[in-house]
Amino acid sequence: MTNQGLSISAALRKRFAEARRVVVLTGAGVSAESGVPTFRGGGQSAVWKGMPFDKISSAAMLERNLAEVWEWFDYRRGVIEKIEPNAAHRALARWQERFEDFTLVTQNVDGLHQAAGSRDVIELHGNLWRARCMSCRRKYDLRDRESEASRTYACADCGSYLRPDVVLFGEIVPGGAFERAAAAAARCELCFVVGTSALVYPAAGLPEVAKAAGAYVIEVNPERTPLSDLCDACVQGKAGEVLPLFC
């Protein structure tokens, strides 16, 4: 394992230039430079009305107090609404044009990859801008201010409550998303792990899948994580400063 500092070695650059199949896994750190608070580390921990995020963002809370869960998600959307993608999101949007086979997998629910121009993003944890009916599972775009459902959080079809279309603590990642991500990881040559503490599974298992299948794994994070030892290279720096150095 090598530690690269803030420049990218010629060897890493060559790997990047020659790769055809690339997978990138991102976490909250990729949005940190846009001003989105991360969940862990960095001094700020996400607390809402005295409740840690893993309590307010939980399946148990959904049953106990749906209104409060919505208040927390409304607050998060309010924060993200004013925020722009950063240099890391923009670099990743450019990368999709460069490689024969490129898959962007994110744990983030902020929609900033798409705002930067990334297409077909695999969103393992859902999206803050979507709601879904708790009975019939119909999905709603909360950006659509015209729709009554986005104001009342009641389903237009069946009248049941809507919930955020986001994976909460105590819930499993929706079927299909992880499988597609794992298939891409198993066939990639180069795998980037960017801005994630790599503590939450199954997402954190993707670099392990890539590594086991023979890929070269590069971590981009100012800090070390439980995955650092598995990685072939760790570039210790901010995503918005490091990713644009590759091309």
The residues annotated as belonging to the active site are: 125
Per-residue mark of binding to ligand OAD, 182-211 (x: CB under 6 A): -------------xxx-xx-----------
Name the residue nearer to ligand OAD (CB basis): 57 or 118: 57
H helices of 38-86, where?
53-56, 59-64, 66-81
The residue within the footprint of Zn ion, chosen from 158, 199, 212, 247 (CB under 5 A), is 158
Contact 21, 190 (CB under 8 A): yes
Structure tokens at 245: 């150095």
31 binds ligand OAD (CB under 6 A): no
Q: Name the one range near Zn ion by CB under 5 A: 9-17, 56-64, 128-136, 233-241.
A: 128-136
Per-residue mark of binding to ligand OAD, 115-154 (x: CB under 6 A): ----------x-----------------------------
The residue within the footprint of Zn ion, chosen from 30, 36, 61, 155 (CB under 5 A), is 155
Residues 6 or more apart whose CB falls under 8 angstroms from that of 67 comprise none
244 binds ligand OAD (CB under 6 A): no
131 binds Zn ion (CB under 5 A): no
32 binds ligand OAD (CB under 6 A): yes
Q: Which of residues 51-110 bind ligand OAD (CB under 6 A)?
A: 57, 107
Burial of 23 (0-12, 13-18, 19+ CB in 10 A): buried
Long-range contacts: 174-177, Cβ < 8 Å, 24+?
174/126, 177/122, 177/123, 177/124
Give DSSP secondary structure letters for 125-146.
TEEEEEEEETTT--EEETT-TT
Q: Name the one range near ligand OAD by CB under 6 A: 40-48, 70-78, 95-103, 133-141.
A: 40-48
Name the residue nearer to ligand OAD (CB basis): 166 or 215: 166
Contact 115, 86 (CB under 8 A): no
Give DSSP secondary structure letters for 148-191.
THHHH-B-TTT-PBEEEEEPPBT-PPPTTHHHHHHHHHHH-SEE
Name the site residues for ligand OAD (rule: CB under 6 A). Answer: 27-29, 32-33, 38-42, 57, 107, 125, 167, 195-197, 199-200, 220-223, 225, 238-239
